[in-house]
């Protein structure tokens, strides 16, 4: 198993069964080792992509159905290769592991839908799923409607902007779910190369390192072993997903992680080291808006847990500098804090309404 470079020094972490995670501190010339409180979880619930072969994982599948869902907005450059790879190697290949590939088109202005359909995906528009609800924009909205569009037992979410996609990502994420009935939520971990090739990889993206990880360390320290809390690649049981609310925007990844932890505990969560993952980088103003959505998601979860004063008012308008010809101005951006209810509750309400209407 390989070491995670951004944890050394002062953190030394090895991934693999029985591995340990220690923190080395220096005081008066001594360097005592202090055990990490989540070392046991990290050692037993973190695996690597090379641990999961297609032969092994496919043999574990049994009658369970697997759906891969890609939320997509203007991703014509990458979505086709991802879909083709999954279908060729995991759907129609020698070891059929995936039953369907769904691309949820969030109103793309380019040919994302056509490219995905031409590559063999089932493409659905936001308005085609749960047509009684007016669609919203946002990654989480697309994921929520993608969940509603499938009857599979397990769902694997994959970002549609991944470059150099490897079908083993899907295989490895499914491994812990299929091999351990206690595991219901599996997150991807990976090195994320920076925008400057001369700068060594240091773990997560900028929003992860500057917003999500500090929030988790401060308020949900039991999740400190989750290496990529904002990873868009994860595999989850449909039953768990349908019991959780979905933030409509970029807060969805943190929201689902915290809610899964509150529902199934740390023992129900695992992570898989996918080594390296590449995708499109965003500019700093866009990342600032994403970070704000992550922050407000965390604040709402703290309020749910009674850890914020009741009735605490928060401003959801983010002001950012905007350079224009002749100078600079302020630009206000309304932060998306909308959230969809658990799909299980929504469907139960709809069924009860239909039943009453037929009496």
Vertex 172, ends 272 and 151: CA angle to 5°? 110
Over residues 271-300, mean pLDDT = 89
Instruction: Inform me whether the pLDDT recorded for 43 exceeds 70.
Output: yes
- Cis check for the bond before 9: say yes or no (omega within 30 of 0): yes
In which residue are the tokens 């009741």 written?
310
C-alpha distances (whole Å) from 324 to each of 282, 286, 319, 321, 329 are 20, 17, 15, 10, 7
Backbone angles phi and psi of 351, in degrees to 5: -65, -40
CATH number of this structure's domain 54-287: 3.90.550.10
Reported confidence tier of residue 22, pLDDT bands at 50, 70, 90: very low
Task: Map residue 130 onto helix, strand or coil.
Answer: coil
Closest to 79 in 3D by CA, of 199, 11, 179, 165: 165
Instruction: Inform me whether the pLDDT recorded for 102 exceeds 80.
Output: yes
Condensed to tens digits (0 to 9), the pLDDT of residues 302-352 reads: 999 999 987 888 999 999 998 888 888 999 999 999 999 999 999 877 666
User: What's residue 191's pLDDT?
Assistant: 84
Instruction: Inform me whether the pLDDT recorded for 10 exceeds 60.
Output: no
CB count in 10 Å sphere of residue 356: 8
The better pLDDT of the pair 277, 12 is held by: 277
Contacts for 179 with CB less than 8 Å, ≥ 6 apart:
57, 60
Condensed to tens digits (0 to 9), the pLDDT of residues 169-201 reads: 999 999 999 999 999 999 999 987 655 555 555
Task: Report d(CA 292, CA 284) in Å as an integer.
Answer: 12
Contacts for 202 with CB less than 8 Å, ≥ 6 apart:
5, 6, 194, 209
Reported confidence tier of residue 280, pLDDT bands at 50, 70, 90: low
Task: Report d(CA 67, CA 56) in Å as an integer.
Answer: 18
The better pLDDT of the pair 249, 13 is held by: 249
Over residues 131-139, mean pLDDT = 94
Instruction: Inform me whether the pLDDT recorded for 271 exceeds 90.
Output: yes
User: What's residue 312's pLDDT?
Assistant: 87
**pLDDT > 70 fraction of the chain, expressed in percent and rounded:** 82
Task: Map residue 234 onto helix, strand or coil.
Answer: strand
Domain boundaries, the chain: 5-46, 54-287
């Amino acid at each position: 198993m390989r070491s995670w470079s951004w944890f050394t020094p002062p953190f030394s972490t090895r991934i693999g069964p029985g591995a340990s995670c220690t923190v080395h501190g220096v005081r008066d010339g001594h360097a005592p080792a202090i055990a990490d409180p989540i070392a046991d979880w990290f050692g037993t619930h973190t695996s690597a992509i090379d641990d999961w072969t297609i032969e092994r994982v496919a043999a574990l599948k049994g009658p369970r159905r697997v759906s891969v869902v890609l939320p997509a907005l203007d991703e014509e450059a990458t979505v086709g290769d991802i879909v083709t790879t999954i279908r060729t190697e995991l759907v129609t290949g020698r070891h059929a592991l995936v039953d369907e590939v769904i691309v949820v088109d969030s109103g793309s202005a380019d040919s994302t839908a056509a490219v995905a359909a031409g590559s063999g995906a089932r493409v659905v528009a936001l308005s085609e799923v749960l047509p009684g609800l007016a669609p919203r924009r946002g990654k989480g909205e697309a994921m929520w409607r993608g969940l509603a569009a499938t009857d599979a037992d397990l769902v694997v979410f994959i970002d549609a902007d991944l470059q150099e996609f490897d079908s083993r990502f899907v295989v490895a994420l499914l491994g812990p779910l299929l091999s351990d009935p206690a595991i219901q939520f599996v997150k991807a971990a990976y090195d994320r190369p920076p925008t400057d090739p001369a700068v060594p990889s240091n773990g997560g993206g900028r929003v992860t390192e500057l917003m999500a990880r500090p929030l988790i360390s401060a308020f949900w320290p039991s999740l400190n072993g989750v290496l990529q809390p904002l990873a868009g690649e994860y595999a989850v049981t449909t039953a768990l997903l349908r019991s959780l609310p979905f933030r409509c925007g970029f807060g969805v990844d943190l929201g689902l992680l915290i809610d899964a932890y509150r529902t199934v505990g740390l023992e129900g969560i695992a992570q898989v080291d996918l080594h390296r993952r590449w995708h499109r980088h965003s500019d700093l103003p866009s990342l600032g808006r994403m970070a704000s959505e992550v922050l407000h998601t965390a604040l709402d979860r703290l309020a749910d847990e009674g850890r914020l004063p009741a009735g605490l008012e928060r401003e959801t308008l983010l002001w950012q500098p905007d350079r224009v010809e002749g100078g600079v101005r302020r630009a206000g951006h309304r932060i998306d804090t909308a959230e969809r209810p658990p799909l299980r509750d929504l469907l139960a309400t709809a069924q009860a309404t239909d039943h009453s209407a037929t009496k």
